[in-house]
Amino acid sequence: MKTKTLAIVLGIAAASIGGAYIAISRGTRTAEFEPGAVFFAELGARSGSVDRIELERSGRRLELARAGGQWTLVTSDGYPARFEEIKGLVSGLAVLKGDQKMTARKERHAELALAWPDDSGRGARVRLLAGADVVTDAILGEERANPRAQFIRREADDQSWRVLGSVLVDIEPRRWVEAELLAIPDGEVRALNVNGLRIEAEDGADGKVSYKVAESSPLVAPTDFDWTPTRRAAALRALPSWLSRLELDDVRKAKADGAAADPAISPEFDMVRGTLKVNAVRDGDAVWISFDAKPKEGAPSAAEINAKKKYPGDPYVPDWTEFAAKHAGWQYRLPAWKLNSLEEANKIPAASEQPADPAAPTVIPSAG
């Protein structure tokens, strides 16, 4: 069905092509191209057969592929991709219209961000394929405003053009998949445990929920980590709402022989309708997480909460059984900002809270 949808969308563009298709399809005879005509005329006829997309920018590569009616992100181990984003890329290319003939001198391509290969990140390469056949292979360069335009050339042709319209080539995996993992509403988290610390919810007389550290609890394992007052305050500030906006930067299949979860950054959440264990694994500078989720028997329905969700980021409570099945076998790389909030308490040095020793000698720094 989605393949047919893409073909219908691009069929509208094909209807306006007319004689321009003949001109553009004759090898690289760019002199015959008509300004105002659809630039990638071949897309109108072959959009439905496109089954692979390759994107390159800044020395990085991203690949999407279609099999059995489902698009996946090949470079992220075949994670399901969002069809709307793919449709937007292909249809965006299909409606670009030639506006002005630019330079055909290869040495001047860099001025328009059309040199290739290019590690600067200014330009990007887009390849659309149908099986082994290349449907479109183009270099997209800098954009211009008033009117909105972009410099472009076919990879095999030195002739460059300015086209009306522009297409963003984003090679960040989060752009092509469902980046939102969770958006848990306020008050849904009733308690959490992390690295020997337990935080519990308190219901106020005004109906608002606050959180406090449980001074001693049999529900958490002993730890050697020194939970100083400043570290506790940091955990109280960041962790109870940590699931309110949880997104991914990248995704991969979980490694069967991977490293063990780091208890310092692997919280376990006890919620009204389920429990969630976050298993955080360090891999170089990145942290990848996976989930162990379970529903609670007899928990109240979340239908009223979920009915209000209209946009990404709006609070909702997932069906925890479905959530567990959907995310089983996958690991998600945390964005830096989300990792920082998870690690905030761990980064505070315990020594910073120790009072100065009055018997210690005063050290006067040298003038040098």
Mean pLDDT over 11-40 rounds to 53
Checking if the pLDDT of 222 tops 90, the result is no
- Is residue 366 included in any domain, yes or no? no
* Claim to verify: residue 161 and residue 208 sit in the same structural domain: no
pLDDT at 12 over 50: no
224 in the same domain as 170: no
Number of domains forming the structure of the chain: 2
Task: Please indicate, yes or no, whether residues 51 and 190 belong to a single structural domain of this protein.
Answer: no
For residue 368, tell me if it sits in a domain. Answer: no
Domain boundary among 176, 196, 228: 176
% of the chain residues with pLDDT over 90:
77
Distance CA 63, CA 76 (A): 9
Geometric angle at alpha carbon 30, from 29 and 32, rounded to 5°: 80
For residue 31, pLDDT over 50 is answered with no
Residue with token string 């399809």: 25
Residue 322 placed within a domain: yes
Q: Which of 23-32, 59-68, 239-248 has the lowest mean pLDDT?
A: 23-32
**Tell me, what's the pLDDT at 361?**
57
Gyration radius (Cα) of the chain, Å: 27
pLDDT digits (tens, 9 = 90+) for 113-139: 999 999 899 999 999 999 999 999 999
One-letter-per-residue 3-state SS of 58-70: CCEEEEEEEECCE
Residue 300 lies in domain: 180-351
Mean pLDDT of the 165-194 span? 97
3-state secondary structure at position 1: coil
Residue 248 lies in a domain: yes
Q: Residue 8 pLDDT > 80, yes or no?
A: no
Q: Does position 245 have pLDDT exceeding 70, yes or no?
A: yes
CA 59 to chain centre: 18
